[in-house]
């Protein structure tokens, strides 16, 4: 049984990669261009780990609670390696924004202002936004954690949204292009932005001189800026819609200020003749009172 489960996991492919290929294939068919060959992309270790954890819990329940199995198979769940966090300094982010053409520029600004994932931004509808209350929300079926996410809209996010008003009755972020009518004439049309449209993004990165940077790294940038500004990890978890605090701890090293007082304890051990500055300040404050 274990071997069959592992074999099935090895056959898992990246669903989003397949969906993006279908979109490109459909676009090629409409334009009369040859359809690119589909090459499956293996699912990530993290995706496989999630599925294996669910299967492991299910089999354990079948043994211990439902009494359907005498002994549940032993399932080992691989631990995904924590990848490095790639984020931009504010001046780098501004350089990237300046090189992005519209509507990509608005999308990038909105991503940096809210920390939303690319798919959530592209699929954002006006019915998910309340400009008066300055809030937006991501529905459970659209979030990675399968839970609704409330998004507080800051001034930057509101400014970006106001620029999009009137462009489309349903979708927030759209682009304009000319389409050919049956009679051969050209006419402007408004379309929803595509998730897999990377040409303008890669060109903007190249012009801005930024290497090794993905669109999802804008979310890392947003989180990194907030942590460095002193936002608690528990608050960041809620703002970003992360499922567990462990997923947010990868940003903790960016703001180790809360560890400073503890780190100073070693001073009194290595240099007993030198007074601890933090303790001296505390004593001075006490005397003043």
Q: Would you call 201 a catalytic residue per the annotation?
A: no
Q: Would you call 137 a catalytic residue per the annotation?
A: no
Q: Which of 15, 16, 144, 162 is catalytic?
A: 144
Question: DSSP secondary structure string, the chain?
Answer: -HHHHHHHHHT-B-HHHHHHHHHHHHHHHHHTPPPPPP---BPPHHHHHHHHHHHHHHHHHHHHTS---SS----PPP----PPPP---HHHHHHHHHHPPTTHHHHHHHHHHH---HHHHHT-BGGGEETTTTEEEE-GGGSTTSS-EEEE--HHHHHHHHHHTTS-SSBSSEEEEEEE-TTS-EEEEEEEPPTT--HHHHHHHHHHT--S--TTHHHHHHHHHHHHTT--HHHHHHHHT-SSGGGTGGGGGG-GGGGHHHHTHHHHHH-TTSPPHHHHHHHHHHHH-
Q: Which of 48, 105, 219, 220 is catalytic?
A: 219
Q: Would you call 216 a catalytic residue per the annotation?
A: yes
Q: Would you call 219 a catalytic residue per the annotation?
A: yes
Q: Would you call 21 a catalytic residue per the annotation?
A: no
Q: Which of 105, 117, 175, 225 is catalytic?
A: 117
Q: Which of 29, 162, 216, 264 is catalytic?
A: 216
Q: Would you call 194 a catalytic residue per the annotation?
A: no
Could you list the active site residues?
117, 144, 216, 219, 242, 251
């Amino acid at each position: 049984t274990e071997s069959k489960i592992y074999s099935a996991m090895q056959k898992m492919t990246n669903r989003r990669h397949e969906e993006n290929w279908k979109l490109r294939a459909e676009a090629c068919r409409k334009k009369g261009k040859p359809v690119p060959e589909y090459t499956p992309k293996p699912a990530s270790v993290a995706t496989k780990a999630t599925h294996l954890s669910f299967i492991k819990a299910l089999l354990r329940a079948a043994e211990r609670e439902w009494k359907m199995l005498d002994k549940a198979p032993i399932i080992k769940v691989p631990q995904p390696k924590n990848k490095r966090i790639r984020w931009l300094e504010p001046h780098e982010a501004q350089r990237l924004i300046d090189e992005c053409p519209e509507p990509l520029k608005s999308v990038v600004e909105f991503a940096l202002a809210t920390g939303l994932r690319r798919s959530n931004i592209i699929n954002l509808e006006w019915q998910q936004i309340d400009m008066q209350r300055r809030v937006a929300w991501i529905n459970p079926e659209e979030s990675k954690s399968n839970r609704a996410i409330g998004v507080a809209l800051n001034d930057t996010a509101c400014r970006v949204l106001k620029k999009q008003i009137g462009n489309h009755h349903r979708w927030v972020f759209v682009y304009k292009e000319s389409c050919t009518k049956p009679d051969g004439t050209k006419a402007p049309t408004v379309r929803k932005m595509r998730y897999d449209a990377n040409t303008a993004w890669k060109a903007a990165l190249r012009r801005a001189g930024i290497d090794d940077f993905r669109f999802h790294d804008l979310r890392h940038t947003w989180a990194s800026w907030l942590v460095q500004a002193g936002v608690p990890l528990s608050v960041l978890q809620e703002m970003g819609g992360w499922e567990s605090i462990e997923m947010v701890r990868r940003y903790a090293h960016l703001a180790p200020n809360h560890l400073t007082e503890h780190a100073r304890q070693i001073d009194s051990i290595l240099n007993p003749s030198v007074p601890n500055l933090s303790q001296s300040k505390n004593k001075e404050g006490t005397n003043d009172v």
